[in-house]
Structure 1
Amino acid sequence: MTATEFNFTLPKGLIDADGTVHRHGIMRLATAKDEIAVQKDRRAQDSEAYGSLIMFSRVITQLGQRSPVTLELLENLFTNDLGYLREFYNRINQQETAEIPVRCPTCSTSFKAELSLAGEL
C-alpha cells in the first residue's frame, strides 16, 4: 500500500499570532486537482513563490495544533522553512531520495548516502 501522508519537522517552525511555535506537521501527496487549482489562482500566476504557498495550504493537513493550514498562516513562514517545505514536497511527490556519492575515508569504498532534510532529526 502506498503512503499518502508524510510527517515533517520544520527547521525553525512557524510562529502564530499567539506566539506558539509549530514545527511538526503532516503533508499529503498532491493531486491533479491541487495542481489545477494553483494554476487557476491569479496570485500564483503573478508569483511562483506564492504558488508554492497556495499548494502548501492545500497539501499540508496539519501544522502543530493548526488544522486547516491557511494561506495566511503560511505567509509567516521563515524562508528556510519555506525552502524545506519545497524540498520535502518534491521528495514525497517524486518518491525520490536525495543521495550524494561519498567515499569511506578508511577503506576508500565508494557508496551513496541519503541526505537528511534540514528539519529532520
Structure 2
Amino acid sequence: MDIATQFEFSLPMGYVDNEGVVHKNGVIRLATAADEIFPNKNAKVKTNPSYLPIVLLSRVIVELGTVDVINTNVIENLFTKDFTYLQDLYNRLNEHGEDTFRTKCPNCSAKIKVDVPSLGE
C-alpha cells in the first residue's frame, strides 16, 4: 500500500519575497510526531502559544516557489489569507486525512470541491 505524504498547493495570494517576486505554488508534507512535539520547545511558542502554527508550517512546507529556505520568517510574512489557507490545509491533511477542499470558484464564486493532488508515495 502506497501512502501519499506530499501534496501540492497554490496560495490564494502568494508569498512576496524581498525582491518582490510572488511565490504561489508549493508542496506540503504530512506532519510527523516530531513536528507536533518539537515546536513546544521553541522559546517563542513557550511565551506565545499562538506562534505554534507558524513553527509547524515552517517544518512541513517543503517547497514554495523558488524560495531557498522555508523558515518561520517566511511564514510570518505570508498574507493572512495565505496563512489561513495553509493552516486549513495542514489540518485537513493531518487531522482529517482529507485531500479535498471546499472553496469558491474565482470566476463565478460558486462553492466547489477541489482535489489536492498527491506528489508521490
Q: 1:9 matched to which residue of 2?
A: 10
Q: 2:37 matched to which residue of 1?
A: 36
Which stretches in structure 2 are left out of the alignment for 5+ residues? 103-110, 116-121
**Where does structure 1 differ by over 2 angstroms across 4 or more consecutive aligned residues?**
45-49, 96-99, 113-117
Q: Compare relative contact order (CA 8 Å, sep 6+) and give the higher one, 1 or 2.
A: 2
For residues 116 and 4 of structure 1, the distance between their equivalents in structure 2, rounded to whole angstroms, comes to 18
Q: 1:85 matched to which residue of 2?
A: 86
TM-score, normalising length from structure 2?
A: 0.77
CA positional deviation for 1:49: 3.4
CA positional deviation for 1:22: 0.5
Q: Deviations over 1:59-99 (max 9, x none)?
A: 00010011321111221100011100000001111203567
For residues 15 and 31 of structure 1, the distance between their equivalents in structure 2, rounded to whole angstroms, comes to 28
User: How many pairs were matched up?
Assistant: 104
CA positional deviation for 1:9: 0.6
Identity of aligned pairs, percent? 40
Q: What secondary structure sits across from 2:13 in the alignment? A: strand
TM-score, normalising length from structure 1?
A: 0.77
CA positional deviation for 1:116: 4.1
Which stretches in structure 1 are left out of the alignment for 5+ residues? 100-112
Q: CA RMSD in A?
A: 2.0
Q: What secondary structure sits across from 2:53 in the alignment? A: helix
